[in-house]
Structure formats: structure tokens, C-alpha cells
A and B are shown apart, each in its own frame.
Chain A
């Protein structure tokens, strides 16, 4: 591990919510809730002890550079410049957005996935059973498990609105973490990145672990934020090899964050994306990541691939 004057190496302890099961199915949004600055000084001796005892936790040494916690023991991205979740990767420039498509009414060909009444179009992603999320006052709030749509979609345009908890709690990846999983596999990160630094490829609007957003266009917690997303599915040959990657365009609060960005593969924690053969449709999923994040006004339109039938 290379060190410089700005670098400190922090072991990441096992958190109460971070189970061995989750480690096997890596949590795509990191687990840095324990870097809370207030909490940390008192914990140093304990952490050192914990590191000695739980050698496995020490396999994931967190690095903090300029106040950004991340990892540098991870593989390099294909460009060879940055590690996955690299805290040294440049922070996206801050852009203060206006309101944009807040409360946008769905076009006539849209499938409304949540209109404030219920989550009847969704099931628990893990077991296919009823969702654990709550619905109140027209808002769905994440709880105890990811959810996915009962319908499957191919190429699509998605509109949704989210709201981060206020007052904010936690730091880095531990603050208002959720995510939009296209086809249930490819994550567009949802995080409270307003006055909250995290590694660039884990910021709101990032293709998690791969492509940071072009800008940090977060609104403050407690204000509704809009995602307008256009997604084209990846295509595979009969032998399972990749023919064309998935592409995603992401507009957060009216600010372009991803422009037809080629996705490198399924989202994972601490490893680069990798494709595995799948069908040409899949569900949309929303992540529960130990934080209560609220959602409303979710609609999707299947889109034609080309303009020339």
C-alpha cells in the first residue's frame, strides 16, 4: 500500500448490518458507516484490536484522502488510472441544480410503477414476497430489503424522484444510500452527496464502481430530486459472449450526469463490472442499504431502439 502525507489507512470494521452473507453477495454501495468523524477517535484502540482479531475485516483497508474515504487495494479500472472506489479519483464538480422534472406527469405510454398509493407493482427482490417498504403520505420509504418490479423491461426511459433523510446521518456511503438497479443488475447510485464526500465512482448518479457522475448535482436532504434515465440493454450472442454493452443516460435534477455511458458489467462492490449472459428484459429494482430513503412518482416507458421501423 502506497502512503503519502494526505493518506491515512483505516481498517473497516465489521458493522452490525454487514453480515457474511452480504460479503458473499457484495454490497454494491460500500460499507463505510463507521468513518463518522465524531465516532472515530474514541474507537481507534478498539478498531486496532478488532483488526488484529478479525483478520478478514483487515482485508478491506479503507483509505481517506482529502476527506474522501475509499479503497486503493481494489483492482484498477480498465483505464489503469484509478482503483475501484478510489478516493483519489477526482470529485465531480458541484453544480447547483434548479427544479426540473419534479412531479412530472407520466406520458400516455408510460407504465406507472408508483403513484403514491401502493407498491403493488413491486415485490421483495430477495424472496419474491411482499415488500417490507412502507408507504405513507404518497411516499414509499426503503426498509429491510431491496424491491423489484413484477414486470420486466428492455430498453426504457425511467422517471423517479427520491428524497434523502433529514437531518442527515452518517458519512460517505453511509449517508442516505440506496440505488436504482437497471435489470436488477446495473446500479445507478442514490446517495446523499450534498455536503458529503465519497469516492467518485460511488457518488449519486455514478454507475456504481465504474463511472462517476459528470457533476455533483445533488439537492439538500429533505428536497425532492429527480432522475430521468434512458437505458439500452446489453446484448449477448448465443454462446453468451457480449455483443454490445448496456448504455445509460442519467439526468439528475436537470443536469446531465451520464451521457449514453457504456456500462462495464454487473455492479459489484470492490470489483470492476463484469457481464454475465442474461435475457433482454429484466426488472427494475430499488435498493435498501440500511438507510431510509424515500421515493415517489416512478414511471417507465419502454422505448423503441431505432427511429426507423
Chain B
């Protein structure tokens, strides 16, 4: 009798969960008219691609982490001297206390400095109270060389397609888990990036590789990028397949994206990595 009751309870729970999942799936924005990704299983921005498991990060990890001695401080609250806008003119984002905020429609800002392989620490906070849904909610990004994007988004208790979530390599690789903090709270990205390399004949010999810790949780682990974020179709770059650009220098700049939402950044520092020196 007890066993039967237990079984019934478990069955009921399973059915309930299914309904919730089906319900959730309906709420996820995305696209199925897009090309298939490299693995052949999912469309670019596929709403059916499984949502990363939610992990509540610890209260603190590297929030406010001081820069190591060999790091270059890109922003610590006192001006944007190391940044320009895409046209090369002075960066026009708003600084306030210890943070800088996107100037919606003001365009992205990028570093004047460039690095090849690097370790980047950056903190960001989504607008609070939140506005919008899916990709319209606290959207920004870390655009490496304006080519390779680590997504910044408020998908805390908010749905969007998996390959567009915070910490995704946009359009390619969802985060391993959803480790977002609530809007308004400072979140950390600790990013390890290896630049792509081409040989003298212009052939790609090493793809870009990235590791990302969000709030102390590893969400990309040495992921090899399929290509740059903008797809091959210039008219619909965000809905077409990724590819590598023409050869470029391994030294790349960091750009913070203006995606029309007021997202804040603070405590940004970067270290050049001399990989291979310990092989």
C-alpha cells in the first residue's frame, strides 16, 4: 500500500514537472528559421536548446578584487582615459562613483590598448528594477576585438534562448550553468582568452579559445570558438552561421557593447598571458 502511494506520488511529480517544462518552453523566445549550429543538433538561437541548470552563486567571489601587480587597470572609477568609442573619439559613457554605465544609443566603447592572450576581470550589474524580456533585458556584452562576444544579459529568473544567455559565447556556446545574480547586484566575469592565429598563408592554425568564470562558477571551460559572433550573412549577422574573419593580429582590444540597455561596469583589469612558457 505504501509502495503504491509512493509510486503515485512520484508519477504525479513527474507529470507536474513535465507540464512546467512544456510551459517554460513556450515562454522562451528564439528562432528555428536559423541555420543549424556546428553540432547539427540546434538552430542558432534555438528556443528548444536546453536551458542551462540554474546555480545560485556564492554571495561573493572576486567582487572588488584588486588588480595583480602585472595587470593593466582599464577602469577603476576614475575616468575613461583608456577607452574610446568605435570612431576613435573619447568614450561618452557615464561614470558615477566607481562604475561606468552604457550610454544607450551612444555606441560601444573599446580599449585603446590591445593584448593577445589575456586574463580579464570585469564586473557588471544589470538594471534594477529590470525592464524588458529575453534579449531586451539588460543586454550588453564583452566584445573581444568587436568580433568574439561573451554575452552580458539579465537572465536571472528570466528566459531567453540558451546560446544568448549571460556568459554564452553568443550564438555558439550556452553557459555550462546559469550562475546569474539578481539585477542590481555586481557580478564578476573572470575571462581567459587565447587569440586565434593564422599562418603566413592566411590559414587559420589556431582557433580562439575561452574560459569564463561567472561569479566564481566556471561557465565556459576552454571553449574553442566556431568563429566570430557575427554570422556570415552581413544582412542578418546575428541569425546566420559563425565563421572566422580575415586574418587579424593576435593583439585584440576589448569592447563593451551598447545594446540600448543601461548596464553598469566596474573594476576592469587585464593581464597579458605568456602561455606556453611553462610547457
| Chain A residues in the interface with B (C-beta under 8 A) | 79, 90, 92-93, 95-101, 103-109, 157, 159, 200, 206, 211-215, 217, 228, 230, 232, 247, 249, 251, 253-256, 258-261, 301, 303-304, 307-309
Contacts and interface: CB of A to CB of B under 8 A. Distances in A.
B176 A304 contact: yes
A210 to B, nearest CB: 9
A217 B275 CA distance: 16
Contacts of A228: 213, 216
Given A307-B174, A309-B50, A104 B56 contact: no
Contacts of A105: 58-61
Contacts of B32: none
Contact of A259 (B213, B215, B217, B273): B273
Nearest to B56: A108
Interface string B49-79: 1101101111111100111111000000000
A178 B216 CA distance: 24
A99 B66 contact: yes
Which 5 residue pairs are nearest across A and B when measured between Cβ atoms?
A: A98-B66, A105-B58, A96-B69, A108-B56, A260-B222
B65 A157 contact: no
Contact of B271 (A96, A247, A255, A308): A255
A97 B217 CA distance: 20
Contacts of B65: 98-101, 254
Nearest to A200: B278
Given A98-B67, A211-B279, A255-B68, A107 B173 contact: no
Contact of B173 (A251, A254, A308): A308
Contacts of B275: 214, 259
B39 interface: yes
24 contacts: A90-B277, A95-B68, A95-B70, A95-B271, A99-B66, A104-B61, A104-B216, A107-B58, A108-B57, A109-B53, A157-B217, A206-B278, A214-B277, A251-B190, A253-B68, A254-B121, A256-B273, A259-B192, A259-B194, A301-B55, A307-B176, A308-B39, A308-B42, A308-B174
Nearest to B194: A259
Given A98-B67, A254-B190, A259-B211, 14 more contacts: A95-B68, A105-B60, A159-B216, A200-B278, A206-B278, A254-B62, A255-B119, A259-B192, A259-B275, A301-B217, A304-B176, A307-B174, A307-B175, A307-B220
B222 to A, nearest CB: 4
Contacts of A258: 278
A90 B274 CA distance: 13
Contacts of B221: 230, 232, 249, 260, 303
Interface string B193-231: 010000000000000010101011110111100000000
Nearest to B209: A260
Nearest to A157: B218
B179 interface: yes
Given A98-B67, A159-B216, A214 B61 contact: no
Interface string B159-200: 000000000000001111101000000000010101000000
A103 B220 CA distance: 23
Contacts of B69: 95-97
A101 B62 contact: yes
A261 B67 CA distance: 24
A107 B181 CA distance: 11
A212 B278 contact: yes
Contacts of A212: 278
B41 interface: yes
Given A99-B65, A230-B211, A258-B278, A307 B223 contact: yes
B59 to A, nearest CB: 5
B164 to A, nearest CB: 13
B275 to A, nearest CB: 6
Determine which residue in A104, A251, A258, A308 has the highest number of CB atoms from chain B within 10 A of its CB, and name it. Answer: A308
B39 A214 contact: no
